[in-house]
Amino acid sequence: MTDLKGKKITLFLAEGLPKGIRRVRIDQWSGLAVFIPRNRLAVVFKEEEYAQVRDGACVYFLIGESQEGGLTRIYVGEADGFERRIKDHDNKKDWWKDVVVFMSLDSSLTKTGIQYLESVCVERLYKAGKSILENANKPNKPSIPQEDISGLEMFYENIALILPVLGVDVFVAKDSMKYDSRDFIYCVGKGVRAKGVLLKDGKIKVLKDSEAVLTNAKSFNTHFYHLLKDQLLSLGRIKKQGTKLVFVEDYVFDSASAAASIVLARSASGPYEWKNKDGKPLKKILEAG
């Protein structure tokens, strides 16, 4: 029997531009996501079709430019009146370039609901470590009736699904798979050994206690992923342990090459550096199906 887990997502280019205002819906979901470039806020403030976006309860994400090879800057907020709140951010924060607003079209999101979503989004972004969070504090999770939590968690799952569709891949998808030795791949070199697994979406999860080279190759100091390594150190996702670096917890990289470059502290081709226990490169594993 086929396991049907697909979702129908509708992406509407409100201005006919791939990088302009975009609206996203998921089939059989009352929520709406609106992607707004900072320079198009005036349209949202003016047009009648965005009245509910301006005035309704919402959780929103300010999105900043990521430096080449580095992590995206993110701020998570909640508002009962988005227009008033975003105008304040427009006046006081200069680093962001886009905002993504999430709301419900049936007004089912309450004040405590958006506070809950803000709290879990910040908490899970910290845990994922795939962004630089600009929130000064971790918001407290409000008291929510148990019967409401499942609906809010479903709303969160759709937030985490839609953001990558809009080019903001900062959450880590839930991974319920159980792994055995046949699933593990390894990246080895210069006295270190990292263990990981290939995820369904092509990303690499490097597992806790994996090792990485401490001292960069000279050429790596100007490499695309040099900033990412510095940020992972700053975030405490990898830490110095003796003459090596060690992953403090599992970490998901967007590509095999990103993972291999951080592990080996040099330019690295992930499809060839990651191998199974028999020494077969990831590239050959994928080619074999």
Cα angle for residues 132, 135, 136 (degrees, 5° grid)? 115
pLDDT at residue 4 is higher than 60: no
* pLDDT of amino acid 176: 59
The tokens of 99 are what? Answer: 């905002």
Residues 67 and 120 occupy one common structural domain: yes
Residue recorded with tokens 């887990």: 5
Residues 150 and 191 occupy one common structural domain: no
What secondary structure letter does DSSP report for 231? H
Residues 30 and 89 occupy one common structural domain: yes
**Overall domain count for the chain:** 2
Closest CA to 38 of 114, 122, 94: 94
Closest CA to 141 of 129, 127, 152: 152
Is 29 part of any domain?
yes
Domain of residue 240: give its range. 184-288
Lowest mean pLDDT among 2-6, 7-11, 173-177: 2-6
Residue recorded with tokens 């079709």: 49
| 50-107 pLDDT per residue, tens | 998 999 899 999 999 877 778 999 999 999 989 999 999 999 999 999 999 999 999 8
The tokens of 165 are what? Answer: 């569709």
